[in-house]
Amino acid sequence: MKSVRKKIVSSRSEFISDGLNEEELSADPIDQFEKWMDEAMREDPEMANAVHLATIGPDGRPSGRIVLLRGFDQRGFVFYTNYDSRKGSDLKINNNASMTFFWSKSYRQVRIEGTVFKLPPGESDSYFSSRPRESNISALASRQSRPLENRKILEERVRELENKLKDQTIKRPDNWGGYCLSPLYIEFWQGMTHRLHDRIFYRRENTNTSWTRGRLYP
């Protein structure tokens, strides 16, 4: 049977932007990211912190998924998950990872590459205790990324935990917590007309060296 290739045609009109001027960008990419994130939060407060996280499996193949950025500082970019999930298992073997943000309203993208480390238990405890109780029950009930025969099994497990832990403080499980991606490369991408996009990157050899900055062809 002859296959039929489906053609994807975008209806997006050309995006008008002033582009990126190196003299107006912060010398520190974390400060520049904060400016862009603040603008993105004003435009889309519910999903501006959604980010594509890519890890590398034991077979050398990349694996990606959307997670939520829960904070950032000079150490890097923070997210939380089950340590036994696929991404957690990947990071145990290879702690190299990347993040990609895309904000459609401003037609901006930020690419981040670096190494990932676990947050101290106290930070994970603090974040876990700030979450809705229902979310913490879900964290206990889910064997994240493992095969599930049917949804009823999961729902029954949730009900059992709700009854068992009724009126009790839910403690963070040992296999759940925070990670921080420590950046070695950060790229700011601004969409422009006729695909002549602006790309400015910051790079450093390790966390003890200073950032260098440059421009890339679109």
Domain boundaries, the chain: 22-121+176-216
User: For the segment 138-183, what is each residue's pLDDT rounded down to a tens digit?
Assistant: 999 999 998 989 999 999 999 999 999 998 999 999 999 999 999 9
Are 113 and 184 in contact by the 8 Å Cβ rule? The answer is yes
Tokens of 51: 């980010």
Domain 22-121+176-216 falls under CATH 3.40.50.1980: no
Are 169 and 125 in contact by the 8 Å Cβ rule? The answer is no
Whole-structure pTM over 0.75, yes or no?
yes
Up-side HSE of residue 66: CA atoms within 13 Å toward CB? 6
- pLDDT band at 85; cut points 50, 70, 90: very high
User: For the segment 90-139, what is each residue's pLDDT rounded down to a tens digit?
Assistant: 999 999 999 999 999 999 999 999 999 999 999 999 999 999 999 999 99
Report how far apart, in Å, the C-alpha atoms of 165 and of each of 137, 140, 170, 192 are: 9, 11, 7, 54
195 included as an active-site residue:
yes
Which residue of the set 5, 108, 195, 213 is catalytic? 195
pLDDT average, residue stretch 47-51: 98
Q: Rounded to the nearest 5 degrees, what angle is found at the Cα of 99, between the Cα atoms of 114 and 211? A: 45
Mean confidence (pLDDT) of the chain: 94
